[in-house]
Structure 1
Amino acid sequence: MGSLRELQRELETKTNDLSKLQKEIAKNHQVRKKYTIQLGENELVLKELDMLNEDANVFKLIGPVLVKQDLAEANANVRKRIDYISAELKRLDGTIQDLEEKQNGKKESIMKLQQRIHTLQAGKAKA
Protein backbone atom coordinates (compact mmCIF):
# COMPACT_ATOMS: atom_id res chain seq x y z
CA MET A 1 0.00 0.00 0.00
CA GLY A 2 2.97 2.35 0.50
CA SER A 3 4.07 4.34 3.48
CA LEU A 4 2.41 7.57 4.52
CA ARG A 5 5.51 9.55 3.55
CA GLU A 6 5.58 7.98 0.05
CA LEU A 7 1.89 8.73 -0.45
CA GLN A 8 2.34 12.33 0.70
CA ARG A 9 5.29 12.75 -1.69
CA GLU A 10 3.19 11.32 -4.54
CA LEU A 11 0.34 13.67 -3.59
CA GLU A 12 2.69 16.66 -3.72
CA THR A 13 3.94 15.65 -7.19
CA LYS A 14 0.41 15.15 -8.53
CA THR A 15 -0.71 18.48 -7.03
CA ASN A 16 2.20 20.25 -8.75
CA ASP A 17 1.30 18.54 -12.03
CA LEU A 18 -2.31 19.67 -11.61
CA SER A 19 -1.17 23.23 -10.98
CA LYS A 20 0.94 23.19 -14.19
CA LEU A 21 -2.04 21.83 -16.16
CA GLN A 22 -4.30 24.57 -14.81
CA LYS A 23 -1.78 27.26 -15.83
CA GLU A 24 -1.52 25.70 -19.30
CA ILE A 25 -5.33 25.67 -19.63
CA ALA A 26 -5.53 29.33 -18.55
CA LYS A 27 -2.82 30.28 -21.08
CA ASN A 28 -4.67 28.48 -23.89
CA HIS A 29 -7.93 30.21 -22.93
CA GLN A 30 -6.15 33.61 -23.16
CA VAL A 31 -4.84 32.80 -26.65
CA ARG A 32 -8.29 31.54 -27.66
CA LYS A 33 -9.86 34.80 -26.45
CA LYS A 34 -7.37 36.81 -28.55
CA TYR A 35 -8.17 34.75 -31.66
CA THR A 36 -11.93 35.07 -31.06
CA ILE A 37 -11.58 38.87 -30.97
CA GLN A 38 -9.46 38.82 -34.16
CA LEU A 39 -12.03 36.59 -35.88
CA GLY A 40 -14.81 39.05 -35.03
CA GLU A 41 -12.77 42.00 -36.30
CA ASN A 42 -11.94 40.23 -39.58
CA GLU A 43 -15.54 39.17 -40.15
CA LEU A 44 -16.53 42.83 -39.67
CA VAL A 45 -13.91 43.92 -42.24
CA LEU A 46 -15.21 41.29 -44.68
CA LYS A 47 -18.78 42.62 -44.31
CA GLU A 48 -17.50 46.14 -45.02
CA LEU A 49 -15.55 44.95 -48.08
CA ASP A 50 -18.58 43.06 -49.40
CA MET A 51 -20.62 46.30 -49.36
CA LEU A 52 -18.14 48.17 -51.58
CA ASN A 53 -18.42 48.64 -55.32
CA GLU A 54 -15.75 46.96 -57.43
CA ASP A 55 -14.16 50.32 -58.28
CA ALA A 56 -13.97 51.47 -54.65
CA ASN A 57 -10.60 52.54 -53.28
CA VAL A 58 -9.28 50.22 -50.60
CA PHE A 59 -6.24 51.00 -48.51
CA LYS A 60 -4.15 48.79 -46.27
CA LEU A 61 -2.12 50.12 -43.39
CA ILE A 62 1.47 48.87 -43.68
CA GLY A 63 3.47 50.29 -40.82
CA PRO A 64 2.76 54.04 -40.78
CA VAL A 65 1.75 54.14 -44.49
CA LEU A 66 -1.61 53.62 -46.19
CA VAL A 67 -1.09 51.61 -49.38
CA LYS A 68 -3.74 51.29 -52.09
CA GLN A 69 -4.91 47.71 -52.51
CA ASP A 70 -7.08 45.91 -55.03
CA LEU A 71 -10.55 45.11 -53.59
CA ALA A 72 -10.43 41.47 -54.73
CA GLU A 73 -6.96 41.07 -53.20
CA ALA A 74 -8.08 42.69 -49.93
CA ASN A 75 -11.13 40.41 -49.86
CA ALA A 76 -9.01 37.30 -50.49
CA ASN A 77 -6.52 38.30 -47.78
CA VAL A 78 -9.24 38.80 -45.19
CA ARG A 79 -10.85 35.46 -46.10
CA LYS A 80 -7.45 33.73 -45.76
CA ARG A 81 -6.99 35.35 -42.36
CA ILE A 82 -10.46 34.19 -41.27
CA ASP A 83 -9.66 30.63 -42.43
CA TYR A 84 -6.36 30.66 -40.54
CA ILE A 85 -7.90 32.04 -37.33
CA SER A 86 -10.80 29.55 -37.54
CA ALA A 87 -8.31 26.67 -37.92
CA GLU A 88 -6.30 27.96 -34.93
CA LEU A 89 -9.48 28.19 -32.83
CA LYS A 90 -10.39 24.62 -33.75
CA ARG A 91 -6.87 23.43 -32.84
CA LEU A 92 -6.98 25.33 -29.53
CA ASP A 93 -10.38 23.83 -28.69
CA GLY A 94 -8.86 20.36 -29.14
CA THR A 95 -5.85 21.26 -27.00
CA ILE A 96 -8.02 22.72 -24.25
CA GLN A 97 -10.28 19.66 -24.28
CA ASP A 98 -7.25 17.33 -23.95
CA LEU A 99 -5.81 19.41 -21.12
CA GLU A 100 -9.14 19.49 -19.30
CA GLU A 101 -9.46 15.70 -19.57
CA LYS A 102 -5.95 15.33 -18.13
CA GLN A 103 -6.90 17.79 -15.39
CA ASN A 104 -9.98 15.74 -14.48
CA GLY A 105 -7.91 12.54 -14.38
CA LYS A 106 -5.32 14.24 -12.18
CA LYS A 107 -8.01 15.54 -9.80
CA GLU A 108 -9.47 12.04 -9.53
CA SER A 109 -6.11 10.42 -8.72
CA ILE A 110 -5.42 13.17 -6.15
CA MET A 111 -8.75 12.46 -4.45
CA LYS A 112 -7.99 8.72 -4.33
CA LEU A 113 -4.55 9.43 -2.87
CA GLN A 114 -6.03 11.75 -0.25
CA GLN A 115 -8.48 9.01 0.73
CA ARG A 116 -5.64 6.49 1.04
CA ILE A 117 -3.64 8.92 3.20
CA HIS A 118 -6.70 9.60 5.35
CA THR A 119 -7.35 5.87 5.79
CA LEU A 120 -3.70 5.28 6.70
CA GLN A 121 -3.74 8.15 9.23
CA ALA A 122 -7.01 6.93 10.73
CA GLY A 123 -5.52 3.43 11.08
CA LYS A 124 -2.44 4.83 12.84
CA ALA A 125 -4.60 6.92 15.15
CA LYS A 126 -6.48 3.81 16.27
CA ALA A 127 -3.26 1.84 16.83
Structure 2
Amino acid sequence: MSSSSTAPRKLQRDLENKANHLSKLHKGKPIQTHPHPHPHPHLRKKYTIQLGENELVLKELDLLNEDANVYKLIGPVLVKQDLAEANANVRKRIEYISAELKRLDGSLQDLEEKQHSKREAILKVQQRIQSHQAGKAKA
Protein backbone atom coordinates (compact mmCIF):
# COMPACT_ATOMS: atom_id res chain seq x y z
CA MET A 1 0.00 0.00 0.00
CA SER A 2 1.41 3.39 -0.89
CA SER A 3 1.77 6.15 1.68
CA SER A 4 -0.34 8.49 -0.46
CA SER A 5 -3.42 6.28 -0.04
CA THR A 6 -3.00 5.84 3.73
CA ALA A 7 -2.68 9.59 4.38
CA PRO A 8 -6.32 10.38 3.46
CA ARG A 9 -7.55 7.46 5.59
CA LYS A 10 -5.52 8.68 8.58
CA LEU A 11 -6.84 12.21 8.12
CA GLN A 12 -10.41 10.89 7.78
CA ARG A 13 -10.02 8.81 10.98
CA ASP A 14 -8.53 11.83 12.77
CA LEU A 15 -11.45 13.97 11.61
CA GLU A 16 -14.00 11.39 12.82
CA ASN A 17 -12.32 11.14 16.25
CA LYS A 18 -12.27 14.92 16.68
CA ALA A 19 -15.90 15.18 15.55
CA ASN A 20 -16.90 12.49 18.07
CA HIS A 21 -15.13 14.37 20.88
CA LEU A 22 -16.88 17.60 19.88
CA SER A 23 -20.23 15.81 19.77
CA LYS A 24 -19.69 14.44 23.28
CA LEU A 25 -18.75 17.90 24.54
CA HIS A 26 -21.78 19.45 22.86
CA LYS A 27 -24.14 16.94 24.49
CA GLY A 28 -22.68 17.85 27.87
CA LYS A 29 -21.19 14.40 28.41
CA PRO A 30 -17.74 14.57 30.00
CA ILE A 31 -14.96 13.11 27.86
CA GLN A 32 -13.03 12.13 30.96
CA THR A 33 -14.34 11.61 34.45
CA HIS A 34 -13.97 14.61 36.75
CA PRO A 35 -15.68 15.63 39.99
CA HIS A 36 -18.03 18.22 38.47
CA PRO A 37 -20.23 17.19 35.55
CA HIS A 38 -20.83 19.71 32.82
CA PRO A 39 -23.38 22.35 33.80
CA HIS A 40 -27.02 21.87 33.01
CA PRO A 41 -29.08 24.95 32.11
CA HIS A 42 -31.89 23.75 34.41
CA LEU A 43 -29.56 23.72 37.41
CA ARG A 44 -28.34 27.24 36.67
CA LYS A 45 -31.93 28.48 36.32
CA LYS A 46 -32.85 26.80 39.63
CA TYR A 47 -29.95 28.48 41.45
CA THR A 48 -30.76 31.86 39.89
CA ILE A 49 -34.37 31.60 41.09
CA GLN A 50 -33.25 30.52 44.57
CA LEU A 51 -30.78 33.41 44.74
CA GLY A 52 -33.53 35.90 43.86
CA GLU A 53 -35.90 34.42 46.44
CA ASN A 54 -33.27 34.50 49.19
CA GLU A 55 -32.27 38.07 48.39
CA LEU A 56 -35.95 39.03 48.67
CA VAL A 57 -36.19 37.27 52.07
CA LEU A 58 -33.07 39.13 53.23
CA LYS A 59 -34.63 42.48 52.24
CA GLU A 60 -37.76 41.58 54.17
CA LEU A 61 -35.73 40.55 57.24
CA ASP A 62 -33.83 43.85 57.09
CA LEU A 63 -37.14 45.74 57.35
CA LEU A 64 -38.08 44.07 60.65
CA ASN A 65 -37.53 45.47 64.14
CA GLU A 66 -35.18 43.50 66.39
CA ASP A 67 -38.06 42.26 68.56
CA ALA A 68 -40.15 41.02 65.60
CA ASN A 69 -41.27 37.39 65.56
CA VAL A 70 -39.70 35.32 62.80
CA TYR A 71 -40.82 31.83 61.90
CA LYS A 72 -39.16 29.18 59.79
CA LEU A 73 -41.18 26.55 57.97
CA ILE A 74 -39.81 23.09 58.76
CA GLY A 75 -41.94 20.52 57.00
CA PRO A 76 -45.58 21.31 57.94
CA VAL A 77 -44.60 23.23 61.11
CA LEU A 78 -43.73 26.90 61.68
CA VAL A 79 -40.90 27.13 64.22
CA LYS A 80 -40.01 30.39 65.96
CA GLN A 81 -36.51 31.57 65.08
CA ASP A 82 -34.25 34.34 66.31
CA LEU A 83 -34.05 37.25 63.83
CA ALA A 84 -30.23 37.31 63.91
CA GLU A 85 -30.11 33.56 63.29
CA ALA A 86 -32.59 33.81 60.42
CA ASN A 87 -30.57 36.66 58.93
CA ALA A 88 -27.32 34.68 59.22
CA ASN A 89 -28.91 31.57 57.67
CA VAL A 90 -30.24 33.50 54.68
CA ARG A 91 -26.86 35.21 54.15
CA LYS A 92 -25.09 31.81 54.24
CA ARG A 93 -27.59 30.44 51.74
CA ILE A 94 -27.01 33.42 49.42
CA GLU A 95 -23.24 32.92 49.74
CA TYR A 96 -23.56 29.21 48.90
CA ILE A 97 -25.88 29.76 45.93
CA SER A 98 -23.65 32.54 44.56
CA ALA A 99 -20.62 30.23 44.81
CA GLU A 100 -22.50 27.47 42.98
CA LEU A 101 -23.53 29.89 40.21
CA LYS A 102 -19.93 31.05 39.88
CA ARG A 103 -18.74 27.43 39.67
CA LEU A 104 -21.38 26.62 37.04
CA ASP A 105 -20.41 29.68 35.00
CA GLY A 106 -16.76 28.61 35.18
CA SER A 107 -17.67 25.09 34.04
CA LEU A 108 -19.73 26.51 31.20
CA GLN A 109 -16.87 28.77 30.08
CA ASP A 110 -14.46 25.82 30.25
CA LEU A 111 -16.85 23.72 28.15
CA GLU A 112 -17.18 26.50 25.56
CA GLU A 113 -13.37 26.81 25.35
CA LYS A 114 -13.03 23.04 24.86
CA GLN A 115 -15.69 23.09 22.13
CA HIS A 116 -13.92 25.98 20.40
CA SER A 117 -10.53 24.21 20.44
CA LYS A 118 -12.12 20.99 19.10
CA ARG A 119 -13.78 22.96 16.27
CA GLU A 120 -10.42 24.56 15.44
CA ALA A 121 -8.76 21.11 15.35
CA ILE A 122 -11.52 19.78 13.06
CA LEU A 123 -11.10 22.76 10.75
CA LYS A 124 -7.34 22.13 10.49
CA VAL A 125 -7.88 18.46 9.63
CA GLN A 126 -10.49 19.42 7.02
CA GLN A 127 -8.04 21.90 5.49
CA ARG A 128 -5.34 19.21 5.38
CA ILE A 129 -7.76 16.84 3.63
CA GLN A 130 -8.68 19.55 1.10
CA SER A 131 -5.03 20.41 0.42
CA HIS A 132 -4.21 16.70 0.06
CA GLN A 133 -7.09 16.27 -2.42
CA ALA A 134 -6.01 19.39 -4.30
CA GLY A 135 -2.45 17.96 -4.51
CA LYS A 136 -3.81 14.68 -5.89
CA ALA A 137 -5.93 16.55 -8.45
CA LYS A 138 -2.83 18.34 -9.80
CA ALA A 139 -0.88 15.08 -10.13
TM-score of the two chains, using structure 1 as the length reference: 0.85
For the residues of structure 1 that align with 2:55 and 2:91, how far apart are their CA atoms?
8
For the residues of structure 2 that align with 1:63 and 1:14, how far apart are their CA atoms?
50
Match for residue 18 of structure 1?
22
For the residues of structure 1 that align with 2:107 and 2:91, how far apart are their CA atoms?
24
Match for residue 28 of structure 1?
39
Shift of 1:29: 5.0
For the residues of structure 1 that align with 2:128 and 2:138, how far apart are their CA atoms?
15
For the residues of structure 1 that align with 2:45 and 2:7, how far apart are their CA atoms?
45
Give percent identity, aligned residues only.
76
Match for residue 112 of structure 1?
124
Shift of 1:42: 0.7
For the residues of structure 2 that align with 1:33 and 1:124, how far apart are their CA atoms?
53
Structure 2 portions without partners, runs of 5+: 30-37
Shift of 1:22: 2.1
Higher relative contact order (CA closer than 8 Å, sequence separation 6+)? 1
For the residues of structure 2 that align with 1:65 and 1:18, how far apart are their CA atoms?
50
For the residues of structure 2 that align with 1:114 and 1:60, how far apart are their CA atoms?
61
Find 2:8's aligned residue among 4, 7, 12. 4
Find 1:69's aligned residue among 69, 81, 95. 81
Cα-Cα RMSD: 2.1
For the residues of structure 2 that align with 1:18 and 1:77, how far apart are their CA atoms?
42
Structure 1 portions without partners, runs of 5+: none
For the residues of structure 1 that align with 2:22 and 2:120, how far apart are their CA atoms?
11
Any residues of structure 2 matched to 1:63-102 within 5 Å, and which?
63-102=75-114
Higher helix share: 1
Alpha-carbon displacement from aligned partner over 1:16-57 (angstroms, at most 9, x marks no partner): 2112222339x5151222222211111011001111122222
Letter paired with 1:28 = P
TM-score of the two chains, using structure 2 as the length reference: 0.78
The question of 1:45 aligning with 2:57 is answered yes
Aligned residues between the structures: 126
